[in-house]
Structure formats: C-alpha cells, structure tokens
Amino acid sequence: MDLRIYNTLSGGKEPFVPLEPGRVRMYVCGVTVYDYCHIGHARANIVFDIVFRHLKYLGYDVTYVRNYTDVDDKIINRANERGISSKQLSEEFIKAFDEDMATLGLLKPTHEPKATEYIGEIVGLTEKLVDKGYAYAAQGDVYYAVEKFGPYLKLSKRNMEEMQAGARIAPGEQKRNPMDFALWKAAKPGEPSWDSPWGPGRPGWHIECSAMSSSLLGDTFDIHGGGRDLIFPHHENEIAQSEGASGKSFVKYWMHNGFVNINQEKMSKSLGNFFTIREILERFDPEVIRFFILSAHYRSPIDFSDQNLDEAKVGLSRFYEALKAADVTLREHPVEEGGTCPQISDSEREAFDCIEALEDRFTEAMNDDFNTAAAIGHLFDGVRSLNRLVGEGRFDTCSLSLRVIQDGAALLRKLGGVLGLFGSEPEQWLAGQKQAGLAGSELSAEDIEGLIEERRLARAQRDFARADQIRDELAGKGVILLDSAEGTTWKLK
C-alpha cells in the first residue's frame, strides 16, 4: 500500500504523489524564539520528525525546512523587559531550542533558516504583492488586502462575513479592512528595523514563512506542516501571500498536528499548567516522551499526565527488556550460518511468521497517514514473538530460532528507527532508568546488592523465611527482585 496523507485542505486522506517523482519538499513552521519550548512544541516537532523519517524510509529524497521566526512583537517585548537586544534574546532561545530538540532525538532538518536572514526576500515578496494589487502601503506599514484574494479562508473553511463580525482594527493600524494583516510594519523607536521602499521597518508575522519556503523549496512544494492552531490565521495568510505573489498553487498537502492537554485541561499559561520541555525532562526520559507522543495518532489530542507518562515508560521498557533478552541470548548462543530446525513447533512457526510479516504491517500502518499508534501496536506483537523464541530456547536442536531472534531484534531496531525509538543500548538504557528511579529514594544500588547477597546466602541455607523477608522489604521500597539460573537481578516497580 502506498502512502496516504490527511490533507487539511481537502479534509480527507489522499494518496501521496510528490510533485517530482522520488523527491519530497516539506516545510514546517518552527518556533518564535522568545521563550523555552513547551511540551506542545515537543509534540509538533516530534510528529514532523517521524514524517521526515518515514518519507526517507520510503526512499524519498527529502528536503525538510524548519524555520526560526526571530523577529516579532513578542521577541521585541520580551527583549525590552530584560533590557537586551532582540538579537541577543532570539539567539539565546534558538540555542535552547536546538538543545531541546537534540535531547528529544530529533533529526536535523535539511535547512533551518532564520527570518532575519531573509529580509531581502521578504521585502521583495511584499513589493510584488503591492505591484500585483494584493497589498497596499499606509504610513510605512504594508497590509495585505484580504478581499483581493478570492480563495482566502479556503484552508480554515470560514467565511469572511462571520470573521469580520469579530475583527477589530487596533489603535495605530492603518487597515482598510479589519481582516487585513500586516506584511511590513513601520519601525517604532527602539525596535529592530531594516530599510525598505516604505521606510525603515520589519516584517509582519506571516510573510517570513512565505519568503523562506519559496526561497528554499520553490513556489510550489509538497508538504507544509504545523500545529492545528496555525491553520488560521498563519497558514491561511501564507497561502494568500504565496499564491498571490506567484500565481501558482502553494502547497499540495497541509498537515496539522493535534494539541497537548495537561491533566484533561487545555494547556495554558493562565491555568498555570504550562510545562516546558526542560521541566518534563527533569522527570522523564526523552525517549519515554517520544514514545508517549507517538502512542497516539498525531491528529488526536493527547493528555499529558504523570500516569500516562508512567505507562509510556512501562511500554518502552518492555521493548528494551525484550531487546536485552535477545542480545543476551545471541551472546550466549552464536548464530550459525544457515540455521536449521528439524521440527518446527506451531508456536515457533507462529513467531517466525509474525516477525516475517512485521515490516509489512508496520509500513502499512505508517503509510496510513502516519499511524504511529497502530505501528507501535504491531511492534509489540514482534516483542511477544521475540520473547517467546527466547523463552522456548531449544537452540541446540533449532538454530533457526536463533537466526529469527537475530533478525527480529534487528528488525525491531530498524523499524523503531523510523520512529526515532530503540536507538539506545538496552542494558544501558535500562540501567539508566533504574539509576534515575533510585535518585529520590534512600536506597542505593550498593544497598540493594548487599541485600541480594544476604538473601542469596539465606536461600543457600534454605532459610526462605529470611530470604522472603528481604524480598518483601525491598518490594516495599519499590524494588523487585528477579531470580534466574544466573543469579538475582533487580528492577524498579
């Protein structure tokens, strides 16, 4: 099955046919850099990270552009509050953004342009819109005359009359129509500004994305993404600017990700439930955050809560436990060339088949509008098959099993890679989780090891009462003991 993408413009899933065979050009609205990123930014960027990864996995040559908007009212205001320049402020938060995205395991886009590096293109685009009659200058400002662009509101599916009912012209604005929006703003004292045919000024909000996307991807490109909240006005205005200027269709597929709620409430600063990525990372592993976000479809709302994050951690651990068990098995039983199996049991047959079908099932799910939730569900089936083969362990008579374990583990890593998951060394990751879990408790790893040794001696003397007492004591502190033929290990509940 081929890739299908839900297109906001048409309101349905459409077969994905790139403008140029084998090549995909995509643009995703990045951030306005005036503050630390919150968990909603994390979701948007992770979602488009896997879109990028999956397109590459399908074999496309992908050009991925994600911008920084580094000139804007909010940046100016925040910089003034702190008594630093807009440039200093934006550089600080570009750095923070880069750090956050790297921690979350995001691939670098092909290009990460900054609005301030495209002022020339922005001015050029604005002039073109004025020349074509889509825009007008007024006292140093330039506004887009929305009624001149026929298809306006085609993306957000609203109508002008109703929108106008609520629209107001703010004091100081020179708009002819309340719905018009600024392409260029005349400089006020203390604001960063650039020369232009209309005098010194700076870009309005939406124009930078039109300028950067056409510069780097051309007038028409395949995919444009961002959060739902950008549909109106940001993306609507981008369409008006880009299509007005070029006279060509702007974007073929519009993709928008859903919101993040916090404990069933809308995430908002006024409710005080706004979490930055940095705050979340203090308590949760970055891969757990990614796993959590990808466990729901990108267009659905997700509820960010400790319970849901804890569940994601348990789920991710299951993958790493299985990968670790497979690694250990393969270490102890080297795989021979051309595995054989004189008698394959039904149970083994089933596991073999599952692993064989895994990649197709995974790809099918991902091809259905990037259904990561379904894809992860299939991966869990792979885990069960792997665990079954590892657990049945008749490797002396069935070396084929070992081959399948090897292939299955490699496949899990490969497909996980499409989601940006399972890239760590299982033993290391699991150990890291244990260490992090222990951080807040009064127990140390040494304490636990000591008690395990004491219990081992008790068990050797068949003093099970004492052995169980130690185990219960540790269990009371959240430490679970796992006995095996090779000895006792522990994990956190």
Could you say which DSSP state residue 271 is in? T
Name which position in 139, 249, 347, 428 contacts RNA (CB under 7 A): 347
Specify burial of residue 57 (Cβ count, 10 A radius: 0-12, 13-18, 19+): middle
Contact between 365 and RNA by CB under 7 A: the answer reads yes
Binding characters for RNA, 135-164, by CB under 7 A (x = yes): ---------------------xxxx--xx-
Q: Got the DSSP string for 407-427?
A: HHHHHHHHHHHHTT-S-S-HH
Range 35-74, binding RNA (CB under 7 A): 38, 40-41, 43-44, 74
Residues 28, 431: Cα–Cα separation, whole Å: 36
Name which position in 58, 138, 160, 167 contacts RNA (CB under 7 A): 167
Residue pair 38/402 in contact by the 8 Å Cβ criterion? no
Cα 153 to Cα 146, 203, 324, 490, distances in angstroms: 10, 22, 52, 59
Range 441-470, binding RNA (CB under 7 A): 459, 464, 467-468
Residue pair 490/478 in contact by the 8 Å Cβ criterion? no
Binding characters for RNA, 398-437, by CB under 7 A (x = yes): ----------------------------------------
Range 301-320, binding RNA (CB under 7 A): 301-303, 307-308, 311, 314-315, 318
Determine the interface stretch with RNA among 140-148, 376-384, 420-428, 440-448 (rule: CB under 7 A): 376-384
Range 186-205, binding RNA (CB under 7 A): 205
Binding characters for RNA, 248-287, by CB under 7 A (x = yes): ---------xxxxx----xx--------------------
Contact between 95 and RNA by CB under 7 A: the answer reads no
Q: Give the nearer residue to RNA in terms of CB position, either 30 or 420.
A: 30
Q: Got the DSSP string for 306-348?
A: HHHHHHHHHHHHHHHHHHHHHHHHHHHSPPPSS---SS--HHH
Q: Give the nearer residue to RNA in terms of CB position, either 20 or 472.
A: 472
| Count of residues touching RNA (by CB under 7 A) | 79
Name which position in 232, 275, 327, 414 contacts RNA (CB under 7 A): 232
List the beta bridge partners of residue 15.
4
Residues 434, 432: Cα–Cα separation, whole Å: 5
Name which position in 117, 173, 191, 368 contacts RNA (CB under 7 A): 368
Residues 493, 481: Cα–Cα separation, whole Å: 10
Residue pair 13/4 in contact by the 8 Å Cβ criterion? yes
